[in-house]
Amino acid sequence: MRPLLLFVLVGCDPDNQLAVAEPELVVEPATIDFGEIVVGDYGEIGAVVRNDALGTLKIDGAEFESGASADLQVLSWPEELEAGKEGLLVVHYTPDMEGEDFGTLNLSTNQPDKPVFPVSVTGMGVKPCIDIDPELLWFGTVAPGESSTKSFQVRAGCSGTLHIGNAAFPGGEAAAYSMKLPDGWETPYALRTGFSFTVEVTFAPPDTNEWVGEIWFESNDPDDSTSAVKLKGNTVDDPTENEPPVVEITTPNAGEYFLDNQLVTLTGAVYDADEAVTNLICAWYGDGTKLGDASGTVGIDGVVAGATLLPVGDVDVELRCFDSEGAKGSDSTTVKVWKHDEPLRYVISGGESEFDYFAIDDDIKFLLNGASFYDDNNDVYDNLAPISFEAMPGDTLQITAVDQNSCDAAVDPLILHWGTGKSQGLNDEICLSACPEHACYDGTYFGPWPSVILDETYTISIP
């Protein structure tokens, strides 16, 4: 009996030639988003790379496009995948400063219709900090069987989400102290920037002995991973254990800009666990020199306020306070002072901070007093980094955006920044599409292409 021969035909073209099986690359997730990463730490994400077709997939290289953040790095990728197989594309992110990082990672493949496969990668460098006020609770003298309750606040400052990993008594003080944490407390406890919660501490001593202890908070604050609140009960004020004043500058904020002919308002707060704040002696300093025209008088509420002119340049503003025993507490912040009659540095971004990127589909051009200083004209969708330029208040800023291709037109809302403290809103968001399946579909939008979707002129009004 003759053997039976079986042939399987993968596919054929109209000329009855055997068709070559092609690969199809799929990356999941399509966008690699690291979210918030604390400055100095790192994140690593492995995205799934899969071959969804019959041909063998080959990836000859992976590299970020020019302009991508240097904090992003591709570590490894599968160089060859058979049909239906998958591997990992591993990307590393180590932010070296606060702000958004962005880049497009291009995979070089043998997929005929997409030899360069782009993967968007984004991350946000943050630096959360924990602020506890006050840092010492003194309960005085409490008899056994009685109790006294005091409270303190925990606030998230700086940037990013503060994560508190634990809150505990590290020693035996729990026999005399108890604390009430916020409802729904569980670790890690997430606290967004600017938000706070109150902790109530009750002192109920079992005897007349002195009770000194602490409450420790572990957090992702890179400069203060374990913060403490000191507790004192059944103690008298001991000069040998004098606590220095606790000082905080509330204005100006770090990174704010000022002019050299502009009075800068200085505001701070001081607290002392051992004596009345009105006993304290405080003074304001600029780059180590006492600012004689800025009052250092402490109010009964602990507020220290003043106003002064500051020298040109990066100025370290410091508030120093001394108690009656000479113990010093201080806080400082750095601001920048510009000459009022010289051009100032402005930044255009797509958000509330000067670090936010903005989207444009397709092209955008910026002109200062009629002269172009930035022109994106590659006829494709872009996510652009913030734009820095020098100008004077009263100058005119013109923004022109053009939709070159169907079917989408888009411009994010843009904001003009001068330092961290002053901003000016520019255009409203534009989101149009002639394609019904898109989120911004507008049945009245039919081009023509190219078409001008934004052409506005603004007068710079800040500072």
164 backbone φψ class: left, alpha, beta (φ>0; ψ -120 to 50): beta
- Alpha carbon separation from 107 to 45, 116, 378, 420 (Å, rounded): 16, 6, 21, 38
Task: Please state which architecture CATH assigns to domain 246-338.
Answer: Sandwich (2.60)
Write out pLDDT tens, residues 404-439.
Answer: 988 889 999 999 999 988 999 999 999 999 999 998
What is the model's pLDDT at position 12?
43
Residue 13 pLDDT exceeds 90? no
Cβ-contact 82, 110 below 8 angstroms: no
Q: How far apart are CA 207 and CA 299, in angstroms?
A: 38
pLDDT at 175: 86
Q: How far apart are CA 194 and CA 254, in angstroms?
A: 15
128-236 shares its CATH topology with 246-338 = yes
Task: Compute the distance between CA of residue 435 and CA of residue 429 in angstroms, rounded to an integer.
Answer: 19
Q: 25-126: what fold?
A: Immunoglobulin-like (2.60.40)
How much is the mean pLDDT over the chain?
Answer: 90
Looking at the predicted structure, is the pLDDT value of residue 21 above 90? Answer: no
What would the mean pLDDT of 348-352 be, rounded to a whole number? 94
Distances (CA, A) of 150 to 147, 174, 199, 337: 10, 15, 9, 42
End-to-end CA distance of the chain: 97
pLDDT, tens digit (0-9, with 9 covering 90-100), for 188-232: 999 998 899 999 999 999 999 989 889 999 999 998 899 999 898
Residue ranges of the domains in the chain?
25-126, 128-236, 246-338, 344-459
The DSSP string of 376-406 is: E-SSS-EEEPPEEEEE-TT-EEEEEEEE-SS
* pLDDT-derived band at 275, boundaries 50, 70, 90: confident
More confident residue, 179 or 243: 179
Decide if 58 contacts 79 (C-beta within 8 A).
yes
The whole-angstrom separation of Cα 176 and Cα 422 is 49
Per-residue pLDDT band for 326 (boundaries 50, 70, 90) equals confident
* Residues contacting 289, CB < 8 A, separation 6+: none
Say which CATH class 128-236 falls into.
mainly beta
Cβ of 461: how many Cβ atoms within 10 Å?
A: 10
